[in-house]
Structure 1
Amino acid sequence: MNAAAQPWIDVCAADEVPPLGARIVRRGPNVADVAVFRTADGTLFALEDRCPHKGGPLSQGIVAGERVTCPLHGWTIELASGEAVAPDRGSVRRYALRVQSGRVLLEAAALCEENAAPRLAPCPLSRAGCAR
């Protein structure tokens, strides 16, 4: 079944996302990965796994409250909005997420839209299903 026929893609079990940590959803070569984060209270968020400053892996950052701090240069990103915290400016893409029967689901249409950045290729999910 291709992604166009499936509105949500199962990416992992909810309990695979560690508290105050992240799990990476690999999308394929030349396509931005997605990081699924869990806060201390168990809330899950999904963001592009790329800091807007220098492209650092947000999934390797420190989660505190509803923010993640990039491990490379300390930029802080709001998990709910994907926006950098002042005085920094910039944002990362946010992905719709839901939990159903203990599984984390991401919206298929958003995962397969082409990102405006020229470094990214078309989403492989439409051809091969979810890359994990």
Structure 2
Amino acid sequence: MFQAIGILFLVLGLLCGGAIVAAPLGLMHQPDGMAVYLLFPGLFMLGYLFLAGSVRDPAVAKITRGAGAALMLLAAAAAVILVIFATGIMVAEGSRLPLWYVMGLGIVFGSAALTVRGDQSKI
């Protein structure tokens, strides 16, 4: 049960992050209020904790690296969009600040997660 809830929360967290990234492109409306900005990291981390806590030890490193890779891809998408706006290729619809938010969180948490090694017995 925790695995299913963990996967759901991870996906919902990524969906919130994707919504934040897509809004300045005009693909969707700007999120109202602070909810999506809190749900993005909150649901993602909660989903990771549920999922990682419900599996055997060797699988935790794979889950951690997979979650980190997803965050890094989201951060990379935000960075690409920021460059597109900065160079004038496209004009942002709304603020660019949310893109910096997603890029910053994605790089910090994603890179931390990608540094986890699978074989911790040698430490």
Specify the TM-score bucket, using the shorter chain as the normaliser.
Answer: under 0.3
Q: Which has the higher strand share?
A: 1
TM-score, with normalisation over the residues of structure 2? 0.22
TM-score, with normalisation over the residues of structure 1? 0.21
Q: Which has the higher helix share?
A: 2
Q: Which protein shows a greater Rg?
A: 2
